[in-house]
Amino acid sequence: MFRLFINEPLFIYGPEVKPSQPITLWLLPAITLLALLPLSDPARNQALFLTLNHLAARFPDVLWADLTVLGDTLVALCLLLLFLRRYPDLALAVLLASLPATLLSHGLKSGLDLARPYAVLGDQVHVIGRTLIAGSFPSGHTTTFFVLATVLIAGLRSTTATAWILATALLVGFSRIAVGAHWPLDVLGGILCGWASGLLGLYWARRVDWATRPGVVLAMRLMLIACAVALYLDYTSGYPLARPFELVVALLALVVHLLPGWRIEAAA
């Protein structure tokens, strides 16, 4: 139902055709920007964090560990392998978006060097996995998954797919609070970074049109397969509880991608 042929552009421009974008792509960042203002008050940010972190502690730690590793770069690239054969345009857009996302996220982390929840609140924080101290804003895991989410929502243009993708993305963001790694403000910052980078990746993919080149598709395929193999064989994400889930993601990505009968459509 969501099939996209490699010789069909992701967005079509012309005098009579204008690119339509799901309203979610603009509504979400607008809501996020509105929420940033009240949470810029440290007291409110800390109070909300403690409320959400303690609420999440009522659920199994493995749930939040599994959700949070979806925002790990290597895991996210394995998920991208699931879409490569049918949606090479989207895969290319995500990979192109990873450059500004990395520069923006790590640049802000290094430049601001804000303390993470445990460094401020100590044992009040329910921590799952590693105990992180510095480099709080923005949330890198949230940025990573929202890059993927933004590209897929814009590319698939399906109401059902949008609902599932957005719900998963928001849970990944919330999981960063649940594991004690980030403030709510950090998650909002990650949403905006991922959203902006995802749109930029889509723009670049549309401009360069590399997804029609067999060599580029082959390079993406080999790289993403290597990521899945690396995740399956030996990888430490910092969340031991999520290791079985990581193995399932890696194996699923490889099996689905290599299933017989799947093929990349040749360019016209």
**In this predicted model, what pLDDT tens digit does every residue of 232-254 receive, in sequence order?**
998 999 999 999 999 999 999 99
pLDDT at 51: 98
In a domain, 95, yes or no: yes
In a domain, 252, yes or no: yes
In a domain, 18, yes or no: no
Spatial distance between the Cα atoms of 75 and 188, rounded to a whole number of angstroms: 21
**250 neighbors 231 (Cβ within 8 angstroms):** yes
pLDDT at residue 1 is higher than 60: no
CATH number at 170 reads: 1.20.144
pLDDT at residue 134 is higher than 80: yes
In a domain, 224, yes or no: yes
In a domain, 30, yes or no: no
Query: The domain containing residue 115 runs over which residues?
Result: 61-257
Contacts of 9 (CB under 8 A, 6+ apart): 89, 206, 209
Q: What is the C-alpha radius of gyration for the chain, rounded to an integer number of angstroms?
A: 19
In a domain, 19, yes or no: no
Number of domains in the chain: 1
pLDDT at 234: 86
In a domain, 140, yes or no: yes
In a domain, 53, yes or no: no
Question: Distances in Å between the alpha carbon of 27 and those of 21, 32, 139?
Answer: 11, 9, 20
pLDDT at 127: 97
Spatial distance between the Cα atoms of 232 and 229, rounded to a whole number of angstroms: 5
**152 neighbors 159 (Cβ within 8 angstroms):** no
Q: What is the pLDDT of residues 112-133, one digit of tens each?
A: 989 999 999 999 999 999 999 9
Q: What is the pLDDT of residues 63-110, one digit of tens each?
A: 999 999 999 999 999 999 999 988 999 999 999 999 999 999 999 999
